[in-house]
Structure 1
Amino acid sequence: MSDVQIRQMRDFLDIYNKISEKCFNHCVYTMGYRELTEKESRCVDLCATKFLYGGQSIMKTYVEIQPQITERRIQEMNKMMEDAAMKS
């Protein structure tokens, strides 16, 4: 595995663990049963779904604005290079 792949896996697991913890703390009320109650199960499903849709929404926005950010950075770098060339 490359360093990038390892970092991506760590990031994924970190997010997964945070979502699991938040949904568990929000939805599980009693530890008296081996299985989740129907109410707890529905709550966990809705909680996880909400996080997934939120992540998709963020990613969609990122994909839409990333080309604009990249273009702006290219323009800034070109201007810096032009300014440096004029000073030389």
Structure 2
Amino acid sequence: MTGSSPQGIKTVLHPVSDLAKARAVYAALLGIAPQTDSSYYVGFEAEGQHIGLVPDGGPQGMTSPVAYWHVPDIEAKLAEVTAAGATV
């Protein structure tokens, strides 16, 4: 990895069917209380990783976890991955 800004997967959102139960399970698993706790989103910060719980997949209708890559320059990274064969 080059450059001064860290990059990689830093945020993962998990759709859950029972937010209260998932909140308790993730708090026990991570050993911390959520930093964000509302009826539409529960978020944990664990060692630089953000874990989000989204009831019923939220407005996006997520059906599986969604990972978000953090990069210092999205246009440069997009050009790099499309040059490598990715499609947008």
Confirm or deny a common fold (TM above 0.5).
no
More helix by share: 1
Task: Report the TM-score, using the length of structure 2 for normalisation.
Answer: 0.23
Higher share of residues assigned strand: 2
User: Computing the radius of gyration over CA atoms, which structure comes out larger, 1 or 2?
Assistant: 1
